[in-house]
Amino acid sequence: MAKTEIRMTGSGGQGVIMGTIIIAEAAYADGKQVVQCQAYGPEARGGSSKAETIVSDKRITYTKVIKPDLLLALTQVSLNKYVDCLKNKAIVVVDEDIVVPEEVEAIHTVYHLPILKGAEEVIKNKMSANIISVGVVNELLHVASQKSVEEAVLNHVPKGTEEVNLKALHYGAQLVQEAHK
């Protein structure tokens, strides 16, 4: 596969860094080349958080995402901050309440998905928004096999939450499938 650049953004504590790690780990387990990195400020909670994963069949030299193939934003602030920097005809995933500028809707493929609401009301675990996001991203890009993503999720979630997080992962994929219908 060609080099695929993924950027996940949100506010600190939403787990977007972990989301990109899970995707990277899954793709790496499938034999792909990956890099993952993040930028963060002094806040452990709140503030804005940006994390990136690049997946490729070839060796990855430069470690940062330049123009993402996919931008996922869980907050309006993070969308505003990163929406100007996208690859041509990129995929933009935002939480359903986020307002996306019309010109962005015009050039890119935008998905408005109930990620935060789904975590709270369907999965009944606010902390699972990032895992839903992983499900969304992989359903859109298929950078890793389902089995590897599931294993990577299980490697990183707290004991006792395995089932709920796998449910979140599948829910993410389902959101995309429904949007495509």
Partner 1 sequence: MAKRFQLLQGNEACVEGAIAAGMRFYAGYPITPSTEIAERSALRLPQVGGKFIQMEDEIGGIAAALGASVAGLKAMTATSGPGFSLKQENIGYAAIAEIPIVIVDVQREGPSTGLPTSPSQGDLMQSKWGTHGDHPVIVISPSSVQECYTECVRAFNMAERFRVPVIFLMDEIIGHLREGCELIPPEELTISNRRIDRNFNGTLAYAVQEGNYVPEYAPFGEGDKFNVTGLFHDLDGFPTNDNNITDSQERRLLDKIRMRRDRIEKWEEFDCDDCETMIICFGGTARAVHGAIEDAKEMDFVKLGMFRPITVWPFPEEALLKIIKDNKHLRQIIVAEHNDGQMLLEVQRVVEGRVPVDFLGKIDGTTITPSEVIEKVKEVY
User: Which residues form the interface with partner 1 (CB under 8 A)?
Assistant: 21, 24-25, 28, 33-42, 60-64, 66
Tokens 């599931």 — which residue? Answer: 150
Rounded to 5°, angle at Cα 105 from 55 and 171: 55
Please give the distance of CA 134 from its chain centroid, rounded to a whole number: 5
Distance CA 177, CA 172 (A): 9
User: Shortest approach of partner 1 to residue 62 CB, angstroms?
Assistant: 3
Taking the complex as a whole, the smallest distance from the CB of residue 70 to partner 1 amounts, in Å, to 18
Give min distance, CB of 39 to partner 1, in A.
Answer: 8
CB of 65 to partner 1, least distance (A): 11
**Rounded CA gap, 180 and 174, in Å?**
10
- 3-class state of residue 100 by DSSP: coil
Letter for the amino acid at 159?
Answer: K
Compare residues 28 and 171 and give the one whose CB is closer to partner 1: 28
Give the nearer residue to partner 1 in terms of CB position, either 69 or 95: 69
Which CB atom, from 58 or from 124, has the smaller least distance to partner 1? 58
**Residue 107, φ and ψ in degrees, nearest 5:** -95, -30
Q: Which is nearer to partner 1, 28 or 111 (CB)?
A: 28
